[in-house]
Amino acid sequence: MEETQVLLQRLKARNTKLIVITGGVCSSLGKGVLISSIGVLLKSADYAISVMKLDPYLNIDPGTMSPSVHGEVFVTADGAETDLDLGHYERNFDMSLTRHSSVSAGQIYKEVLEGERQGKYLGHNIQIATHVVDVIKKRILRASLENPVDFFLIEIGGTVGDLEIEIFLESIRQLRDVLGNTHFLHGHLSYVPTLSWSGDIKTKPTQHSMNGLKRAGLVPDFLFLRTDQHIDQRALHTCSLFCGMVYDRMFQVLTHEPIFALFGDLDKQGLTSKIQAYFKIQQVRQADIGAWQSYVQRIQGSKEALRIGFIVKYISNSDPYLSVIDALKTAVYHAGYKLDLVEIVAEDLEQPEKSDRYEQAMDKLQSVVGIVVPGGFGRRGIEGKIVATRFAREHKIPFLGLCLGMQVMVIEAARSLLGLAQANSLEFDELTPDPVVTLMAEQKEVTALGGTMRLGSYPCSLVPGTKAHQAYAALQVVERHRHRFEVNNAYRERLSAVGVVFSGINNDLDLVEITEIADHPFMAGSQFHAEFTSGPLKVNPLFKAFVQAACQYKAQAEPVWGMAGMENIQITQPSAFSI
């Protein structure tokens, strides 16, 4: 029997139900947020769920895309570089996804073409409508069967009407035909704008989006209307009539602050029960979202701000640092504050003293009660990050370095505490006489860029009595990585002698995972991305400890307004062109 048929039979035998979400009118409507809402409600009703995202771009994965263009690259436990939406899903569902949950058109075409070279299609001409679509269906079915679940949620990236999305629409059309209403639900998210100059609610864009679906042979079962304002009954009836939708299966997806309030809103509109009714589930379960409602109340009740400095390289929007910002917000909310995130452009701290850009950046730096240096790649802005790191160390301001941020912390300590003025990372200066951060041994022969870093989850042993050990309250943890460079073990003994504490070690590979400064209230850096395992209801221990230290600093000390100790900072010029 052909594999697709076998997979379909297994899915039916397990009684797994597929819920597919498409988007219309424009991008950035929040399909990922809608999927998260549906998943939270079903999981809160005690159903087992999982999720995948299908992206129409031809890249194999987002790993080589610019963060300023595509946003943050999220890393799964098994080492896949994925879209940032998977981070939303993991955080909101409190679950660990795999590489099977992230599929791009590039992966699909690659699989088909490699199969052709291997003789898989001998005697046939390869066609999009047959072979490419079949691979997509198999990917969906395999992923849905990876774990025993009641509901499998699927987000199709892009917008209905886009050329590149058509193969995915055809795939779900064919799945719908064979699965029927007992195992398949299609929801469509569409934009309903309100004209600011007249106050009119316009459903015409949604009608056109629905027409695009109908041309693809699809009529959604549920229609989700993305809107900033409540849609009146007249407009809803118009939308129902001209879109051919059952009125009772239309839902308003309003803009909420915080966004987690959407979960309760959709539940009040009956989404949880209507999904179960659609699938003819006899014993309808209620969603218990009490923990989420308490979290929303905590957020709304947070009045006083905690001012945290964020040393950034990518400044187009917040997407390149989405998980870090979410982790900070969550930790701050749980501490009883709201986050006042002060973005400080790293390159501004590299400008000549007395220049406007430098002084404005320093004014910001002096006003915060905590400093975070996030991950990144390339030498642009590195010296500015070192300036901020030294400022945090010398003025005892709580500091958290993530991935690159930890490496910057080690470089700064080598320069300031060891007196190695030209200390650097080989990533930024291949001619440095003191490469305190060096290329990992297994990376030295690597030439390809995509998917070749140290990726995924690795164990870390914690040293008892250190701040990392106190934060995690464990002797071993597992965290996620995405990097090529590591602390150079040749310098570990010398750095330890001047107060650098290597509090987390991967014993199997003998690699530094966490670094601290001994005589500092809280100055810690992790080689891993602690933000990837921090969620709204479960804060990563390093973020929690950092925010606690910032709260104590806020309560006990005045912000540092003077520039004492900063006048001797020297910006080391790299020996190659900065990118």
Burial of 90 by CB count in 10 Å (0-12 exposed, 13-18 middle, 19+ buried)? buried
Report the sign of the C-alpha dihedral through residues 356, 359, 362, 363, in that order.
negative
Q: Could you give the CA distance from residue 143 to residue 284 in angstroms, rounded to a whole number?
A: 26
| Of 77, 76, 78, 531, nearest in space to 86 by CA | 76
Catalytic choice (81, 186, 531, 551): 531
Catalytic choice (72, 188, 529, 551): 529
- Element counts in the chain: helices (H) and strands (E): 19, 21
How far from the centroid of its chain's Cα atoms is residue 490's Cα? Answer: 34
Burial of 443 by CB count in 10 Å (0-12 exposed, 13-18 middle, 19+ buried)? middle
Q: Residue 275 has which token pair?
A: 């999904």
Residues 414 and 490: beta-carbon distance below 8 Å: no
512-516 own/partner pairs: CB under 8 Å, 24+ apart: 512/486, 512/487, 513/458, 513/460, 513/479, 514/406, 514/460, 514/462, 514/466, 514/468, 515/401, 515/406, 515/409, 515/410, 515/487, 516/466, 516/467, 516/468
Residues 420 and 414: beta-carbon distance below 8 Å: yes
514 — phi, psi (to 5°)?
-135, 140
Q: Could you give the CA distance from residue 481 to residue 405 in angstroms, rounded to a whole number?
A: 13
| Of 321, 323, 318, nearest in space to 87 by CA | 323
The amino acid sitting at 111 is: E
Tell me the C-alpha to C-alpha distance, in Å, between residue 227 and each of 145, 146, 183, 254, 538: 35, 35, 29, 5, 30
The bridge status of strand 399-402 relative to strand 454-462 is unpaired
**What does the longest C-alpha to C-alpha distance in the chain come to?**
77
DSSP 511-558: EEEEEEETTSSSEEEESS-GGGG-BTTB--HHHHHHHHHHHHHHHH--
Q: Is 208 one of the annotated active-site residues of the chain?
A: no
How far from the centroid of its chain's Cα atoms is residue 489's Cα? Answer: 31
Residues 516 and 524: beta-carbon distance below 8 Å: yes
Q: Is 531 one of the annotated active-site residues of the chain?
A: yes
The bridge status of strand 81-82 relative to strand 74-75 is antiparallel
Tell me the C-alpha to C-alpha distance, in Å, between residue 137 and each of 7, 351, 444: 10, 54, 39
167 — phi, psi (to 5°)?
-65, -30
Catalytic choice (239, 243, 403, 460): 403
Angle of the 31-44 helix axis to the 271-278 helix axis, nearest 10? 80
State the DSSP H helix or E strand holding residue 452, giving kind and residue range, or none if neither: none
Q: Could you give the CA distance from residue 384 to residue 358 in angstroms, rounded to a whole number?
A: 10
Residues 327 and 540: beta-carbon distance below 8 Å: yes
Strand partners, 516: 501, 524
Q: Is 403 one of the annotated active-site residues of the chain?
A: yes
Q: Residue 171 has which token pair?
A: 């795939």
Strand partners, 456: 481
The amino acid sitting at 199 is: G
* Active site members: 403, 529, 531
